Amino acid sequence: MSDLRELYQSVILDHNKKPRNFGEPPGSNRSAQGHNPLCGDHVTVYLAVVDGVIEDVGFEGRGCAISTASASLMTEAIKGRSLEEAEKIFEGFHALVTGPAVSAVDARALGKLTVFAGVREFPMRVKCATLCWHTMHTALEGRDKSVTTE
């Protein structure tokens, strides 16, 4: 368990300090904004969707380490995926942080995202980890709407 905690901390800290896909990508044609009033996290997710595929993705905003790392890892997970695949990853991630223990099959499908499994033990942190995901979900649907964790 100690090794898992160290991995968790290492991945979270790395993605917080050096977030991947930070900024609005050229050609983005969908976006949504999200806000977590309890923690003060703000995020905007940008998608460049072409023929049902997320060709590029980025995010901007500010927030705690969990929020920033989650957004960074999310962009890596959905880039190049179809809208349907991105929705399945969203559902899997949401189950990971809100549901019971994750099976080995689910863990393999989620890859690096499994570092967030421990977040479910801290309900206030679940909102930090899922803010960008709910925001991305809204952007996928093409709704021009703000997302809040409240």
- One-letter-per-residue 3-state SS of 21-47: CECCCCCCCEEEEEEECCCCEEEEEEE
Domain that holds residue 12: 2-148
**Full pLDDT tens readout for the chain, 150 residues:** 455 566 667 888 899 999 999 999 999 999 999 999 888 999 999 999 999 999 999 999 999 999 999 999 999 999 999 999 999 999 999 989 988 766 555 667 788 898 898 888 888 899 999 999 999 999 998 766 788 877
Q: How many domains does the chain have?
A: 1
Residues 135 and 147: beta-carbon distance below 8 Å: yes
Assign residue 18 the CATH number of its domain. 3.90.1010.10
